Amino acid sequence: MSDIIRSAYQRTWWAILLRGVFSLCIGAFILWRPLDSIATFALVIAFWSLFNGITQVVHGVALRQVFTRWWVLLVSGFVAIAFGIAALTVYPGLSLAFAVIWVTWWLFLVGGFAILLSVVERRHGLPWGWTLAFGVVNVIAAVYGLMSPPATLAAIMALIATFALVSGAVHVTAAFKLASAKAQLTDSLHGAAAR
């Protein structure tokens, strides 16, 4: 059993570290050349999807003996790979259309839920004004996003760069914390065995 856990740890550690480094590189590139080419942005989306899909497939296969729902990672990985291949085939239109539609629908949903939540808060006598304002602003942003795809793409680029940098830093930190936890666990086990 310890060999299975050790093998899963090695694969997981490398996958987390590589995912973090890749995210940091993508975020830095987008910030460094924000207006260079929207086509590059489409490639980033496609390759990001491919890389994340491959990483999830590797995680799913590596964790199948210790994680009962490993197939969820496998399926989501294959979906991400399929989208990445489709985005490269229908280049750059699919990636860019997906980005605009995804963000505007997300804004619509968040705004709609916030407006509904403000109604519930008002019925229960809770402060509801800020929640309503947040919902309305999200809906307005979604409408504007659909009406102005270039502005939406520029905002998306800034958001993805920020997310990639934060995500990369978190993944790299998590990889080193995982290595540190493994070292502490190994030392503890050796200390217990020596007694």
The per-residue pLDDT for range 77-91, each reduced to its tens digit, is 999 999 999 999 988
Domain count, the chain: 1
* Rounded Cα distance, 93 and 175, in Å: 35
Ranges 1-5, 30-34, 85-89, 171-175: which has the least confidence: 1-5
Q: Considering the entire predicted model, what is its pTM?
A: 0.57
Amino acid making up residue 92 = P
Domain that holds residue 44: 2-194
Tens of pLDDT, residue by residue over 157-170, are 888 789 889 999 99
By residue count, the chain amounts to 195
Is the pLDDT assigned to residue 113 strictly greater than 80? yes
Q: Name the residue among 79, 96, 78 with its Cα closest to residue 87.
A: 96
CA dihedral 134, 111, 151, 148 (to 10 degrees): -130
Q: Count other C-beta atoms under 10 Å from residue 17's C-beta.
A: 17
Is the pLDDT assigned to residue 114 strictly greater than 50? yes
Backbone conformation region of residue 67, classed left if phi is above 0, alpha if psi is from -120 to 50, else beta: beta
* Rounded Cα distance, 81 and 52, in Å: 8
